[in-house]
């Protein structure tokens, strides 16, 4: 082990410096070694595997690195180790608040375990999603797919190259984190039944959405149990505008209670119905799904089935990093519970 000698002043220039933007230079381990008075190999050990040098040496090296504004290059570090300490997260729509908490949860876990999160989106396109995943796979250690739109075979093919974890979908042979919709939907339908509703409309999400189908199955089962009629309506896109476009179909269906694939559809539907003079919830009750940020900003505030999205992001990142560390399970589904959040958009039906 090399112990420190008397520290030297930080060099203004030298062979270790690499040119950066605007003529600036980036510090290297050789610059840190000069300042700390140690060998470059000692700096490398201290920065990559703390604990392999003495506490005194570690402190000197960290202070020198901070003074030089040294930034670790994950791709340079990957050369000897094969690891970049980064992982990718692909979401279906980066503008959809549904994914905000998933991103935050994954980022929190990444930061806590010295990883960097790299974000991409598919814009609801299976082809775009697959292209983004393949590109990310070249530079990250693993990948999380949140509400993926590509087919199962492509997901499994990606997992042959590097670890993959999926959120909001079950894929055989892949570790998944999935909200259990049955509890929350059951509570929502029982509330509708107790408020005198007899016909429930479900506004579906994208055709390629696995979770949309599970939610429809949950609505059917809960309505059968409560002896309510269930009808499925399609939407053009899972957005506020898509919700507005379903308003005519909802009115024509004769349903007096509606549960939508997500909160954005519910918000758009409510806005369009109110613009047409329909009173919510007296004439039509509306229930969304996910409890996104802003779901309670509407008038009336939106009743919704809450999904623990932050918990999903944290759990998925934890599962991925455990796999990368050699301790995780390479398959199986972790289920997290949903729950009904009652607000003003649902209530007793007034004939």
**pLDDT at residue 55, rounded to an integer:** 85
Q: How confident is the model at residue 182 (pLDDT cuts 50, 70, 90)?
A: very high
Mean pLDDT in the chain? 89
Segments making up each domain of the chain, as ranges: 18-71, 85-179+309-335, 180-307
**pLDDT at residue 66, rounded to an integer:** 86
**pLDDT at residue 20, rounded to an integer:** 44
Model confidence pTM above 0.85:
no
**pLDDT at residue 14, rounded to an integer:** 42
Judge if 18-71 and 180-307 fold alike in CATH terms. no
pLDDT at 24 over 70: no
pLDDT at 6 over 50: no
The pLDDT tens digits for 255-270 are: 999 999 999 999 999 9
pLDDT at 18 over 70: no
**pLDDT at residue 8, rounded to an integer:** 37
The arithmetic mean of pLDDT across residues 310-332, rounded, is 92
**pLDDT at residue 4, rounded to an integer:** 41
Domain 18-71 has CATH 1.10.260.40: yes
Tell me which CATH code domain 180-307 carries. Answer: 3.40.50.2300
The arithmetic mean of pLDDT across residues 10-19, rounded, is 44
**pLDDT at residue 54, rounded to an integer:** 87
The pLDDT tens digits for 101-121 are: 999 999 999 999 999 999 999
Three-state SS annotation for the chain: CCCCCCCCCCCCCCCCCEECHHHCEECCHHHHHHHHCCCHHHHHHHHHCCCCCCHHHHHHHHHHHHHCCCCCCHHHHHHHHCCCCEEEEEECCCCCHHHHHHHHHHHHHHHHCCCEEEEEECCCCHHHHHHHHHHHHCCCCCEEEECCCCCHHHHHHHHHHCCEEEECCCCCCCEEEEEEHHHHHHHHHHHHHHCCCCEEEEECCCCCCHHHHHHHHHHHHHHHHHCCEEEEECCCCCCHHHHHHCHHHHHHHCCCEEEECCHHHHHHHHHHHHHCCCCCCCCCEEEEEECCCCCCCCCCCCEEEECCHHHHHHHHHHHHHHHHCCCCCCCEEEEEECEEECCCCCCCCCC
The arithmetic mean of pLDDT across residues 275-303, rounded, is 96
Q: How confident is the model at residue 82 (pLDDT cuts 50, 70, 90)?
A: low
The arithmetic mean of pLDDT across residues 180-204, rounded, is 97
**pLDDT at residue 9, rounded to an integer:** 37
The pLDDT tens digits for 129-142 are: 999 999 999 899 99
pLDDT at 1 over 80: no
The arithmetic mean of pLDDT across residues 139-149, rounded, is 96
pLDDT at 311 over 70: yes
**pLDDT at residue 21, rounded to an integer:** 42
The pLDDT tens digits for 42-72 are: 887 887 666 778 888 888 888 888 888 877 6
- Structurally, at CATH architecture level, domain 85-179+309-335 sits in 3-Layer(aba) Sandwich (3.40)
């Amino acid at each position: 082990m090399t112990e420190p000698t008397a520290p030297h002043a930080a060099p203004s220039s030298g062979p270790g410096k690499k040119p950066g933007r605007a003529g600036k230079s980036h510090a290297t381990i050789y610059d840190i070694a000069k300042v700390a008075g140690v060998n470059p190999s000692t700096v490398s050990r201290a920065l990559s595997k703390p604990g392999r040098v003495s506490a005194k040496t570690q402190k000197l090296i960290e202070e020198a690195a901070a003074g030089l504004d040294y930034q670790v290059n994950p791709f340079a570090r990957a050369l000897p180790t094969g690891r970049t300490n980064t992982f990718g997260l692909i979401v279906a729509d980066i503008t959809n608040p549904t994914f905000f908490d998933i991103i935050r949860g994954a980022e929190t876990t990444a930061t806590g375990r010295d990883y960097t999160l790299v974000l991409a989106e598919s814009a609801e396109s299976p082809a775009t999603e697959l292209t983004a995943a393949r590109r990310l796979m070249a530079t990250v250690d693993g990948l999380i797919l949140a509400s993926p739109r590509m087919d199962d075979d492509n997901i499994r093919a990606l997992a042959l190259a590097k670890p993959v974890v999926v959120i909001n979908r079950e894929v055989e042979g892949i570790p998944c984190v999935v909200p259990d919709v049955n509890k929350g939907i059951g509570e929502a339908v029982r509330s509708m039944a107790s408020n005198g509703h007899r016909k429930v409309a479900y506004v579906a999400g994208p055709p390629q959405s696995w979770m949309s189908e599970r939610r429809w199955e949950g609505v059917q089962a809960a309505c059968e149990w409560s002896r309510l009629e269930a009808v499925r309506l399609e939407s053009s896109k899972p957005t506020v505008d898509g919700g507005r476009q379903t308003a005519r179909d909802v009115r024509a269906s004769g349903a007096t209670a509606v549960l939508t694939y997500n909160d954005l559809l519910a918000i758009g539907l409510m806005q369009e119905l109110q613009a047409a003079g329909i009173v919510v919830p007296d004439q039509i009750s509306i229930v969304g799904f996910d409890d996104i940020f802003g779901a309670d900003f509407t008038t009336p505030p939106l009743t919704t089935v809450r999904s623990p999205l932050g918990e999903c992001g944290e759990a998925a990142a934890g599962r991925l990093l455990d796999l990368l560390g050699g301790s995780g399970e390479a398959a199986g589904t972790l289920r997290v519970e949903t729950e009904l959040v009652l607000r003003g958009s649902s209530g007793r039906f007034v004939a």
